[in-house]
Chains A and B, each alone.
Chain A
Amino acid sequence: MCLGIPGEIMAVREESGMTFGKVKFGGITREVCLSCIPDAAVGEFVLVHVGFAIAKVDRVEAARAYETLEELGLLAELSDDVPERAVHRPAPEASGPTENGPREVP
């Protein structure tokens, strides 16, 4: 929560006046609010705090920071809610890792 987690923007969409993106963090993809990152584009990297992007970072910085966070065991926030979503809101897309790509958390 103190440290943002860098991820790659895979898709960008507008919804009710806000900008959202699908952002890939290692093997997991999450929806992230991009409203405070003007001109956020697919292929760019952003630093994300609890589903909210606060800065752009470059690819090398993103990869370094992600690896360090992984070593520090500080990536739990990305998946803390996953078991619960299965209980409260079953979603076929959220059923687990796929052979073809990263696990999707809608």
Chain B
Amino acid sequence: MKYVDEYRDRGVAAGLVKRIAASVTRPWVLMEVCGGQTHSIVRYGIDRMLPAGIELVHGPGCPVCVTSLETIDRAHAIAESKDVIFTSFGDMLRVPGSQHDLLTLRSRGADVRVVYAPLDAVRIAQDNPGKKVVFFGIGFETTAPANAMAVKTAKRLGVGNFSMLVSHVLVPPAMAAILEAPGNRVQGFLGPGHVCAVMGYRDYEALAERYHVPIVITGFEPVDLLDGIHLAVRQLEAGRADVENQYVRTVVRDGNQLARDLVSEVFEVVDRKWRGIGTIAQSGYRLRDEFREHDAESVFAVEAIETSESSQCISGLILRGVKKPGDCSAFGKQCTPRSPLGATMVSAEGACAAYYQYGRYLRADERPRENDVV
């Protein structure tokens, strides 16, 4: 049975586009925060359905993309250490560090393994007591409960050879940083539905009030996105700045309380550096002191790291919504998913990868063949 009724959805979408057009009296700039939403917008051409004057800019919501270069380089140094099994989500393997990526290290003999879940890395540690097993704990709030559970479980079961290199980032401080940046153009947000399924949206209410910016918690399906855009535009036109929940079928105001408790038990909020953006105050997690024995930064003394970023890559400007992938001279030429210069081209959730996959800004004969997609 096919649940996505294309004809019905098409009718609903057309209706929403009409309603958006009828609401608009002047130009507005909206940012979708989540990389999955960006992917959906580009895939379905949502931005091209909108009336002139409504611009969507793509946000920093790709965890692989914003993991700092220092952290990537530290991960590489740890992965190269003796008796280490370095475990990671698959997306991280091709992310370029200053020198190379994890796949290259693996080809040179490092034991780098992809896992589906952080708890899998704890099992690998149990199976390999003579090795130090490190998990690369990245992500936004969506992966934080899974990562927290892995560390808590390792501590409870006494799996002393398991540690996590934590590079967690948080959405609301990044939204605040975007709004405070000189030259910010963003006037309203489509909030990240699945992040809010975990964390709820009370933090977003404080943001909306403080910056007088409407935030619509939005899903990722085409009709969700159009609905979210309509709600945000309606607020902007009325001069309102509230949090609205478009994604009521999945998100409740307090999120998943058990998951939030688990995250708070294991992690504490710290300043965090974002790739391409810089340090944002109170924008990440690290392990609390009682879990220090499982903190890879404590377990492995990595010497001072000198990073080196591609001079051509403008992913920082893309992550802040200042530029779009097509503005980059390397896009689709020197930089492709197979040989990425920057992280926004690596991850399936990155804006450059989405633009490349769907052939944006390329002539028809330049568009990637199907087997080239990410």
Residues of chain A having any CB pair with chain B under 8 Å: 1-4, 16-18, 30-33, 35-38, 47, 49-52, 54-55, 57-58, 60-61, 63-65, 67-68, 71-74, 76-78, 80-81, 84, 88-89, 105
Contacts and interface: CB of A to CB of B under 8 A. Distances in A.
Contact of B120 (A36, A49, A54, A81): A81
A83 to B, nearest CB: 8
Given A3-B220, A77-B116, A68 B4 contact: yes
Contact of B89 (A57, A60, A77): A77
B328 interface: no
A82 to B, nearest CB: 8
B280 interface: no
B113 A84 contact: yes
B114 interface: yes
Given A1-B64, A16-B153, 12 more contacts: A1-B63, A1-B89, A2-B35, A16-B157, A51-B120, A54-B145, A67-B2, A72-B36, A72-B39, A81-B116, A81-B120, A88-B113
B3 interface: yes
Contacts of B127: 89
Contact of B348 (A30, A49, A74): A74
Contacts of B140: 1-2
B357 A73 contact: yes
A81 B135 CA distance: 14
7 contacts: A2-B192, A2-B195, A63-B1, A76-B91, A80-B89, A80-B114, A81-B115
The binding surface of chain A is classed by DSSP as: mixed
Contacts of B115: 81
Given A51-B116, A57-B249, A76-B90, A38 B258 contact: yes
B220 A54 contact: no
B9 to A, nearest CB: 9
A54 B36 contact: no
A35 to B, nearest CB: 7
A72 B255 CA distance: 25
A66 to B, nearest CB: 9
Contact of B374 (A30, A31, A73): A73
Contact of A51 (B43, B61, B117, B249): B117
Interface string B101-117: 00000000000011111
Interface in B241-270: 249-250, 256, 258-259, 262
B221 interface: yes
B146 A49 contact: yes
B221 A65 contact: yes
B349 interface: yes
B118 A51 contact: yes
B89 A3 contact: no
Contacts of A78: 116
Contact of B36 (A3, A30, A58): A3
B40 interface: yes
Contacts of A77: 89-91, 116
Given A2-B140, A54-B198, A47 B250 contact: yes
B143 interface: yes
A16 B122 CA distance: 14
B4 to A, nearest CB: 5
B34 to A, nearest CB: 5
B3 A1 contact: no
A61 B89 contact: no
Nearest to A3: B36
Nearest to A59: B3
Contact of A36 (B139, B145, B373, B374): B145
Given A36-B145, A60-B3, A105 B256 contact: no
Contacts of A17: 156
Contacts of A65: 220-221
Interface string B35-46: 110011001000
A30 B63 contact: no
A57 B197 CA distance: 11
A2 B142 contact: yes
Considering residues B2, B113, B157, which has the most beta carbons from chain A within 10 angstroms of its beta carbon?
Answer: B113
